Amino acid sequence: FANIVQISLAQHDSTVGVMFIKIMRPMVDAFIKALGLALPGQDDRQLHLKLHFMLGSMLHGMRMLSLSKNPSYRDLHVGFSAQMDTEALMEHMYRYIVAGLEAR
């Protein structure tokens, strides 16, 4: 999914990009509306940034689970085991995202 997002945003005028925006725009609008209700007093710019940072963190966290099995990744990040603890990663990501959403 992350690759599709990257390609579609990079190729905005392509068929894939146009279709992706058409499909995702209502979902993004709904997320922004929900974030606005959950985080009163934040303007649309802040909400959009928070949404992008939250989604980016979540996608990267999911990718870390598969990359952690790659020897090159382990060589770069000494101390990460080949089998990451999914629940520990999720808990850490949850705290990180909540702190980011609550930040002003």
pLDDT digits (tens, 9 = 90+) for 76-88: 766 665 566 788 8
Place of tokens 């850490």: 92
For 50, counting Cβ atoms within 10 Å of its Cβ (0-12 exposed, 13-18 middle, 19+ buried), the class is buried
Q: List the Cα angle 11/3/85 in 5-degree steps.
A: 160
Q: What residues in the chain have per-residue pLDDT under 50? A: none
pLDDT, position 62: 81
pLDDT, position 63: 80
pLDDT, position 35: 95
pLDDT, position 83: 61
pLDDT, position 95: 94
CA distance 91 to 98: 11
Whether the model pTM is above 0.85? no
Domain ranges of the chain: 2-102
